[in-house]
Structure 1
Amino acid sequence: MQFEQLASVSQAVAATSARNAKIDLLAAALRDLAASGDERTVAAGAGYLAGELRQRQTGVGYASLRDLPPPAPAATLTVAAVDLAFERMARLSGKGSQAARRAEVDALFGAATEPERRLLVGLLSGELRQGAQAGLLADAVARAAELPATAVRRALLLAGDLKTVAADALLHGAEALTAYQLTVGRPLAPMLASSAPDATEALAATGTPAAADIKIDGVRIQVHKSPEAIWVYSRSLDDITARLPGVVAAVAGLEASTIVLDGEAVGVDPETGRALPFQETSSRAARRDGVSVLQPYFFDVLHLDGEDLLDRPAGERWAALERVVPQEQRVGRTMIETPEQAEAAFAGAVAAGHEGLVIKSAAAPYDVGRRGAAWVKVKPRHTLDLVVLAVEWGHGRRKGWLSNLHLGARDPERGGFVMLGKTFKGMTDEMLRWQTERLRALAVEESDWVVKVRPELVVEIAFDGVQTSPRYPGGVALRFARVLRYREDKRPDEADTIDAVRAIHRGSP
């Protein structure tokens, strides 16, 4: 299949808002992929439609996407050829690998037309925001293969890899999907939570009875134990066993022969007993020397001593968890039935320094795909009025628009503004068009990558917290920043100060 066909579908999906119409477009493309009869083409192409590569790492970053050769005048690339190019990049290592990878990038982009290049940049940068994530694509696979969506979603849960499931469904049919079983030692796709603005709304979504789980700001882990070994997997299904000896030791002590647990790994302050900030926990989890010590907190059990629990109501799974895992290794949980109980649990969690709550239906099975109403997270939201200091040109479907904002807080003591980080989240197409015109009018220096602007435009930013950051001059950075609205009614000298940001940081757990 020609890569240009996928580029065209990607653009069409991005331009379509209706879910059913997106599924129709994706299903048609998947049928075309299946017509090739080639496993590589189907798996790679399905991944590209969801913004994923088959290769975990290619070694290609933003810097490698600058100064690219001119686009090709005609389309010649196939899906398989693009996948082979990514595979060659991923295999490169050692002396001379940087130059060899640069040559591979130049060769691939030199053979790509302009629409193909937009898709390639989106895939390599991770910014292919076209609304075709795993849940939507799973439904498209089901439609293309004429299989029940529940069967595809079940296979996705058990396999943890949409690309493999797509290839099996499209090329081998229902029988191939029934072969997927929960296997201790093979990671499953994690169940995810949707969001709500407050605990009352979250409880209305899940229904009652429900549990209010403490939302710990840690690293998502899935732990498998058999009589022979223990494996620890990350949210992205990478094997991180060697990096978390504390988690391995904790699970080794459980009185279970085989078990699969879902939870969080967290660094804990030995003096206060509080969880360390996510930045420090994440840094410890990333260490490869085997000495990082993170404490596990489990909230679900998916398999226990030969019995799969995925389809059991959550209440039954929680009861099994309580029988096997000691309280000090479980996430704090409060059963709730009324909005008043939900709000009280949320207030208590925040007061104790936690990130918030995840409210969970006691009747729901363990599921994967779209973020549904069975798990709903609630977090306090901070907002600040900040000043735009610069902005980066967008990629993928945002090409041609100014997208990634550089945000600054006012510094009354030294004058000027202190950068706190960047964000491209929360922007509608209308906002992108408006800010491109507005910020270019404020430009003082412009390149192919960044436009520096006069610090005059104030924007209201929502964020989840403030973390220590040596990367920025103020020593702090915003977590999960997103744009709410522009405040043209405010002058830059009315923006929030760096002292206000540091005060939020001091009050963080």
Structure 2
Amino acid sequence: MLFSHVVRVSAAVRATTSRKTKIATLAELLGSAAPEELAPVVAWVSGELPQGRLGIGWRTLTALEHGAAQDEQLSVIEVDDALRRIAETKGTGARATRVELLAGLWATATRDEQSFLLRLLSGELRQGALAALVVEAVAVAARVPVELVRRAYMLSGQLPITAAAARTGGEAALREFRLEVGRAVRPMLAAPGASLEEAMAEFDGAVSVEHKMDGARIQVHRRGAEVWVFTRTLRDITGGVPELVELARGLDCESVVLDGETLALDDAGRPRPFQETMSRFAEVSSTRELLLHPYFFDCLHLDGVDLLDAPLLERRAALTKVAPTQSIPAIIRPDNEVVEEYFDGALASGHEGVMIKALDAPYAAGRRGRAWQKIKPTHTLDLLVLGAEWGYGRRTGYLSNLHLGARDGETGEPVMVGKTFKGLTDALLQWQTVEFPRHERSSDEHTVYLWPELVVEIALDGVQVSSRYPGAVALRFARVVRYRPDKRPEDADTIDAVRRLLP
């Protein structure tokens, strides 16, 4: 298959807002890929690289000066092989060798292929073909139930592996996927809750109520003396968090998979700002002396027994058995008065609020459902930055007023729900003005429009009906809390989650 075919399909998927058309177009592409081409093609249309990070920075990519090829000649295998060789280049002189290999690839690519590669390699390939759409395309192409593909993807954590199994082994191969200690599982996600009272009533009080900590999501795996630590995005950070590895090795078990948060604490034992915790997750960290403390809230496996399908009550029992002192505080089946006191106590301890979780719910890995709800004193949403307007007054020369969007749960496309410049510090204004042009989709005299790639946490006083924006709702008194580099665009809240905050 020619690489140009993938590029054209990417453009076609990006050009339509029809979910059905996106899936059909992608399924046709996947169905025509040879077995050895399937893994890279699936990864690319999902905006990912099978090789992971290549060690190629934005400046290197934009500094390439080679002209474009006139004829489409690159094959999928040739591009995949070139990227593999770049990723495998290590040691002395590695950077120069990577640049040389990249330049060779660039020189044989057409202008459209170069544009696709630039966005793919810089992590900016957003075409509406989010993983959820590619999952459905895999199911259509392989003629298997989509739920089987979703579960296999949940357990493998890698869509190319899942697609290959669906293609070669069909339903039987997909059913063979199991939780594997040492292989990250896509995390279960929470939805914003409107209030304590509504969440308690929805589950008739059969809930676990836990502190909502302002930390970084981690997943810890252990088998014997081997330990793995993964981030929310399934990145392996084991080598950078020795204190978490040591703690995991000290647990009284042979094998375990734990889900939780990790925080840096100040001398008084209160959480440090989120940005300080996240600094330990950087590729090059200068803050190793800032110790991380884990707080686990779920147990997915213990000593040979998988617990994904077990109810939360059973998983919680396993958690408190294996990690009693590292478990997030929780109360089981409390009445409303106790929950309100617990909520106040969480805030007094420096936490964001509470999580309310249905006791009978399984672990819905990779999904955001109503079984977990986060309750905070002020509503917050994780939204996509769709654009920014050039400021005036003291903001002259800076990209300021943000255009904010939620995800359409059906198509994956962004839906604009408001604007804000409130909460933007001088440091954030400077950062936005440097960073946003790297994500530019188009611009005019007043506004830079962005690909929906950056996730920002927004606090708001509520939501109201409005005909001003496409989603028919608008945010009330929205202000920026922080950017969320630990979250992917597909982790942003949906338009349905926004509408649930309507009075």
Would you say same fold, with TM above 0.5?
yes
Aligned-partner Cα distance in 2 for 1:118–1:56: 19
Aligned-partner Cα distance in 2 for 1:289–1:160: 29
Aligned-partner Cα distance in 2 for 1:295–1:186: 22
CA shift, 1:163, in A, is 1.4
Paired residue for 1:59, among 55, 59, 64?
A: 55
CA shift, 1:218, in A, is 2.4
**1:463 aligned residue:** 480
CA shift, 1:37, in A, is 2.5
Matched, 1:438 2:446: yes
8 Å contact from structure 2 (residues 154, 365) kept in 1: yes
- Superposition RMSD on alpha carbons, in Å? 4.1
Paired residue for 1:173, among 170, 173, 181?
A: 170
Aligned-partner Cα distance in 2 for 1:63–1:31: 36
Matched, 1:323 2:321: yes
Aligned-partner Cα distance in 1 for 2:199–2:112: 41
8 Å contact from structure 1 (residues 224, 258) kept in 2: yes
Aligned-partner Cα distance in 1 for 2:112–2:339: 49
**1:8 aligned residue:** 8
* Local SS of the residue matching 2:368: coil
Aligned-partner Cα distance in 2 for 1:363–1:151: 22
8 Å contact from structure 2 (residues 280, 287) kept in 1: no
After superposition, what is the alpha-carbon deviation per residue over 1:19-62, rounded to whole angstroms, capped at 9, x for unaligned? 333222222221122xx132xx1111000011000112111121
**2:279 aligned residue:** 283
CA shift, 1:297, in A, is 0.5
CA shift, 1:418, in A, is 8.3
Aligned-partner Cα distance in 2 for 1:323–1:370: 26
**1:19 aligned residue:** 19
Matched, 1:182 2:179: yes
Q: TM-score, normalised by structure 1?
A: 0.71
8 Å contact from structure 2 (residues 191, 372) kept in 1: yes
Paired residue for 2:268, among 272, 291, 303?
A: 272
Aligned-partner Cα distance in 2 for 1:185–1:137: 25
CA shift, 1:336, in A, is 6.6
Aligned-partner Cα distance in 2 for 1:117–1:432: 16
* Local SS of the residue matching 2:444: helix
**2:455 aligned residue:** none
Aligned-partner Cα distance in 1 for 2:433–2:343: 28
8 Å contact from structure 1 (residues 262, 302) kept in 2: yes
**1:70 aligned residue:** 67
Aligned-partner Cα distance in 2 for 1:76–1:466: 41
**1:305 aligned residue:** 303
Structure 1: segments with no counterpart, 5+ residues: 393-404, 412-416, 441-459, 468-476, 482-509
**2:397 aligned residue:** 389
> What is the percent sequence identity of the aligned residues?
39
Against the structure 1 CA distance between its residues 423 and 259, is the aligned structure 2 distance closer, same or farther, given a 3 Å change threshold? Answer: farther
Against the structure 1 CA distance between its residues 288 and 425, is the aligned structure 2 distance closer, same or farther, given a 3 Å change threshold? Answer: closer
8 Å contact from structure 1 (residues 53, 123) kept in 2: yes
CA shift, 1:420, in A, is 4.4
Against the structure 1 CA distance between its residues 289 and 480, is the aligned structure 2 distance closer, same or farther, given a 3 Å change threshold? Answer: closer
**2:432 aligned residue:** 422
8 Å contact from structure 2 (residues 42, 160) kept in 1: yes
Q: TM-score, normalised by structure 2?
A: 0.72
Paired residue for 2:258, among 244, 257, 261?
A: 261
CA shift, 1:241, in A, is 3.1
CA shift, 1:310, in A, is 0.6
One-letter amino acid of the counterpart of residue 60, structure 2 = S
Aligned-partner Cα distance in 2 for 1:182–1:480: 23
One-letter amino acid of the counterpart of residue 323, structure 2 = V
One-letter amino acid of the counterpart of residue 110, structure 1 = A
Against the structure 1 CA distance between its residues 356 and 102, is the aligned structure 2 distance closer, same or farther, given a 3 Å change threshold? Answer: farther
* Local SS of the residue matching 2:369: coil
* Local SS of the residue matching 2:99: helix
